Structure 1
Amino acid sequence: MPPTLESEEHKALRTAVATLGKSHGRTYDRATLWSDAAKLGYLGVNLPEAYGGGGGGIAELSIVLEELGAAGCPLLMMIVSPAICGTVIARFGTQDQKRTWLPALADGTRTMAFGITEPDAGSNSHRISTTARRDQDTGDWILTGRKVFVSGVDIADATLIVGRAEDSRTGSLKPCLFIVPRDAPGFARRQIDMELHAVEKQFELTLDDVRLPADALVGDEDAGLLQLFAGLNPERIMTAAFAIGMGRHALAQAVAYARDRTVWSTPIGAHQAIAHPLAQAHIDLELARLMMQKAAHLYDIGDDAGAGEAANMAKYAAGEACVKAVDQAVHTLGGNGLTREFGIASLITASRVARIAPVSREMILNYVSHQTLGLPKSY
C-alpha cells in the first residue's frame, strides 16, 4: 500500500507544478505551456533516466497533470504521449524505438497520439476491426481500418495504433501496437466537430492499406492484451488526475465566490445549503485522489493486476467527483457560473469526458462486478 502521506519529493513537485500552472492560468497557450513543462522536466518525469526522463513513474506524472488542471490549464496530451505511448515503448519497445522516441517525448520536441477506439467497437479490444497483416515478400506490415475520437493527431508526430494481427501460434487475432507516422501514405484524418471546447482536437482516422516497416511493431506480436493494458492502466490513472484537477479548479472558484459574495450582509458561504455541498465535493475529490494514488503506486511497483482494478476504480471515482464539483460550482455562482468571465460553464461539458472516456462508468461497474465481486456476466 502507498504511504498515507506524500513524500517530501512529491510535495515539492506539487508546489513547483502549481507555480507553473498559476503563471499560465486558464487562458494558457498549449504550445508554450507544453514547452515550459518540458524544459522543467515534467513531461518525461515518468520515463527512464537513461532516455532523458526523470526516472519516476505514473505517480509523479499524475501529480503534474492534476496540478496543472487545478490551475485551469490541463495538458490532455500528457495522458496520451508520455503516459500511454511513452510507457508502452519504455516497457516493450526495441532499443531503437526507445532511442528514437523516449528522449523526444521527454523533452517535448515530439508527441504521440493513441488510437484504439473504433466506430463499431468502442474500446472493446476483442471487437477491434483494424487489421494488420504481413507482406510475406517484404516483411512489412499493412494496416487497414478506422479509428475515432483520437486526440491531438494534428499536433502528433505519430500515432500508436492498436490493430489486430494473427497469432502465429493459435491463428486467432490478438491486439498489436504499431507506430504510424503522421505522413504515412494511406493514413488520413478528419476532425470531428465537437461541442467540447478543448485545446486538443478530436479526429477520425482512416488507414487504407498503410504500409509500415517491420520495426513499426512495438513489442511482441503474440503478447496481446499484456502490452495493451500496459498503456490503458496509466491512461485510466491519468484520466483520474485530469478529472481531479478539473474538479479542484472549479471548486476553488466556487469557494472563493461563496466566501466573498454577500447577500443581506452575509457571505453566501455561511449558509449550509451552499457550504455543505462544497464540503462534500471536496471530500469526494480527496477520496478519488487516494484511490488514484493507490493505483499509481501499484502500477509503478509492477502489480499490473492490482493496478487494473484500482485504476478503474480511481477513474470512476474521479469522474463522478469531478462532475459533481463542477455542477456545484456552477450552482454556487448562479448566473455568473455561466459567464465567460469565470470560465466554469465550459467545464460542464469537459467534466463529462472523465465519465465517458477512456472507458464508461458502466463498463467499470461491469469490471468490478465481474472481476472483483465474482458475479456472472450478462453478456
Structure 2
Amino acid sequence: MSFIETEEQKALRAAVASLAAKYNYRDYVLPKARKNEPLSELWAEAGKLGFIGVNLPEEYGGGGAGMYELSLVLEELAAQGAGLLLMVVSPAICGTIIAKYGTEDQKQEWLPGLADGTKIMAFGITEPDAGSNSHQITTTARRDGGDWILSGRKIFISGVDQADAVLIVARTEDNKTGKLKPALFILPTDAPGFEKTPQEMDILEPDRQYTLFLDDVRLPASALVGSEDAALAQLFAGLNPERIMGAAMGIGAGRYAIDRAVEYAKERTVWKTPIGAHQGISHPLAQVKIELELAKLMMQKAAALYDSGDEFGAAESANMAKYAGAEASIKALDQSIQTHGGSGLTAEVGLAAMLGVARIMRVAPVSREMILNFVAQHSLGLPKSY
C-alpha cells in the first residue's frame, strides 16, 4: 500500500482544485448557504468534468477509479470551502450499492446519471426512534401481488429537493419467523404517497434536511435493490464509503480553515511583527496541521483498503478516519477563528458561519460515540457496551 500518488491522481487533484477555486467559499458557497440554495452550478460542472462519478464503472459512464479518487475529489473541493455534501450520498453510497448489487436494468437506468451528475439519489436510513441502530428501523415494506407497499418515516435526509429518487432502507417481514429484515428500495421522489417536509436547522448550509413520510407508497418489484435477504450486507457496502467521504469533507474543510488562518497570520502585524511569528499563534496552527495530515493518512488507508476489497480493514480504518477527520476539522476551524480574533466572527471573513456545519461532522453520518464503540469492540476486543 503506497500513498505516493500517481501522476493521474495528482492531475485529478489539480483539476478539482482549479474548479473549486472558481466556486470558492466566500464568493459562491457562503452566499448560497445564506439563502439555503444548493450548489447546483458547481454540481453540474463537476459532473460534466467527470468528477462526481469518478468511482463508478466505466461501462456505465463513470471514471472507473475507486473510493480513493472520489475522496480525493471531495477533499479538494472542501479545501476551497466548496464541499459537495451530496457526493457523500449520491455516488458514494447509492452509486456504490447499485453498482455492486443492482440489476442490470437498475444500473442502466441510474448509474450514467449518477456519474455525470444529471441524476441525484438521496439516502433514507435515519429514523426518529432508531437513531444509529439500523436494526430498529420501523419503515416497512410488504408485498401486494407483484408490488411493494412502503410505510414509515425518515428524518435528517439530505438534499431530497434536489434528488430524483431516495434509496430507502426499509424492513420486510419474514413469514416463517415473524422477524423484520432490512431491504433497500429505489423510491422516486414524485411517487404518490411520498411527502417531504423541510426541517428547520439552526445552521448555514446549502443543502436542506428533510423529514420524509411514506404513506402506503406503491413500488414495482423492480424497485428492490439486490436481494431482500442480503440487504444488511448491501447496506454496509455503502456505509464504509460514507465514512471515508465524511472524513474527506472534514479534512478539506480543515485545510480551508487553516489556510485562511495562515494568510491572516502572515499579513496581520502588531508592534511591527506579523502575528504568525509568535509561538502562541504558530504552534496551535502547526499542531492542527499535523492532526489534519494524520487524519488524511487514515482516510487514504481506508480508501485503499476499500478499493482492494478488504471490507473489515476498511471498516476499521473508515471509522477511525471519520473520527479523526471530524475532530481535526473542528479544531482547525476553532483555531482559525481564534487566530483572526474578533474579525474571525465577522460576516466578511465568514468563518463563524462554518461552525455549525463543522460541528455536524461529530454526529453525522455516524456519531463519535458509535465510532468509539466500534473501535472498543472490534479493534480492542472489549465486551460490547450497547
- Partners of 1:123 and 1:358 within 8 A in 2: no
Alignment of 1:20-99 (within 5 A): 20-26=19-25, 27-28=27-28, 30-99=39-108
Which of 229, 233, 238 is the matching residue for 2:240?
A: 233
- Partners of 2:203 and 2:356 within 8 A in 1: yes
Q: Give 1:168 deviation, angstroms.
A: 6.5
Per the alignment, residue 14 of structure 1 pairs with 13
Distance 1:102 1:168, change over 3 A: farther
- Partners of 2:55 and 2:66 within 8 A in 1: yes
User: Secondary structure of 1:200's partner?
Assistant: coil
Structure 1 residues 252-296: Cα deviation after superposition (integer angstroms, max 9, x where no partner): 000100111000001100110100000011111110010001111
- Partners of 2:240 and 2:314 within 8 A in 1: yes
Query: Which amino acid is the alignment partner of residue 12 of structure 2?
Result: L
Q: Which moved more, 1:153-162 or 1:120-129?
A: 120-129
Per the alignment, residue 214 of structure 1 pairs with 221
Distance 1:143 1:133, change over 3 A: same
Gaps in structure 2 of 5+ consecutive residues: 33-38
Alignment of 1:314-329 (within 5 A): 314-329=321-336
- Partners of 1:167 and 1:221 within 8 A in 2: no
User: Secondary structure of 2:53's partner?
Assistant: coil
CA distance in 2, matches of 1:115, 1:11: 34
CA distance in 1, matches of 2:43, 2:369: 33
Per the alignment, residue 107 of structure 1 pairs with 116
CA RMSD of aligned residues (A): 1.1
Q: Give 1:170 deviation, angstroms.
A: 5.2
Q: Does 1:298 align with 2:305?
A: yes
Structure 1 residues 44-74: Cα deviation after superposition (integer angstroms, max 9, x where no partner): 1000000000001111010111100001111
Per the alignment, residue 141 of structure 1 pairs with 148
CA distance in 1, matches of 2:134, 2:380: 23
Per the alignment, residue 281 of structure 1 pairs with 288
- Partners of 1:298 and 1:306 within 8 A in 2: yes
Per the alignment, residue 132 of structure 1 pairs with 141
Structure 1 residues 176-232: Cα deviation after superposition (integer angstroms, max 9, x where no partner): 111000011111111000012111100000111111000101010000321001111
- Partners of 1:116 and 1:123 within 8 A in 2: no
Q: Give 1:377 deviation, angstroms.
A: 2.0
CA distance in 1, matches of 2:67, 2:384: 31
Query: Which amino acid is the alignment partner of residue 264 of structure 1?
Result: W
Q: Which moved more, 1:251-260 or 1:301-310?
A: 301-310
- Partners of 1:168 and 1:222 within 8 A in 2: no
Q: Give 1:169 deviation, angstroms.
A: 6.8
Q: Give 1:98 deviation, angstroms.
A: 0.2
Q: How many residues align?
A: 376
CA distance in 1, matches of 2:19, 2:3: 26
User: Secondary structure of 2:107's partner?
Assistant: helix
Q: Does 1:333 align with 2:332?
A: no
Per the alignment, residue 35 of structure 2 pairs with none
Which of 156, 168, 179 is the matching residue for 1:172?
A: 179
CA distance in 1, matches of 2:132, 2:109: 28
Query: Which amino acid is the alignment partner of residue 108 of structure 1?
Result: G
Query: Which amino acid is the alignment partner of residue 279 of structure 2?
Result: Q
CA distance in 2, matches of 1:123, 1:161: 16
- Partners of 1:121 and 1:128 within 8 A in 2: yes
Q: Does 1:271 align with 2:278?
A: yes
Gaps in structure 1 of 5+ consecutive residues: none
Query: Which amino acid is the alignment partner of residue 297 of structure 2?
Result: L
- Partners of 2:148 and 2:219 within 8 A in 1: yes
CA distance in 2, matches of 1:187, 1:376: 41
Per the alignment, residue 195 of structure 2 pairs with 188
Q: Give 1:139 deviation, angstroms.
A: 1.6
- Partners of 1:86 and 1:105 within 8 A in 2: yes
- Partners of 2:373 and 2:385 within 8 A in 1: no
Per the alignment, residue 261 of structure 2 pairs with 254
CA distance in 2, matches of 1:176, 1:214: 12
Q: Give 1:24 deviation, angstroms.
A: 1.5
CA distance in 1, matches of 2:290, 2:93: 29
User: Secondary structure of 1:183's partner?
Assistant: coil
Query: Which amino acid is the alignment partner of residue 18 of structure 1?
Result: A
Task: Calculate the TM-score normalised by the size of structure 1.
Answer: 0.97
Q: Which moved more, 1:169-178 or 1:260-269?
A: 169-178
Distance 1:359 1:254, change over 3 A: same
Q: Give 1:18 deviation, angstroms.
A: 0.4
- Partners of 1:115 and 1:162 within 8 A in 2: yes
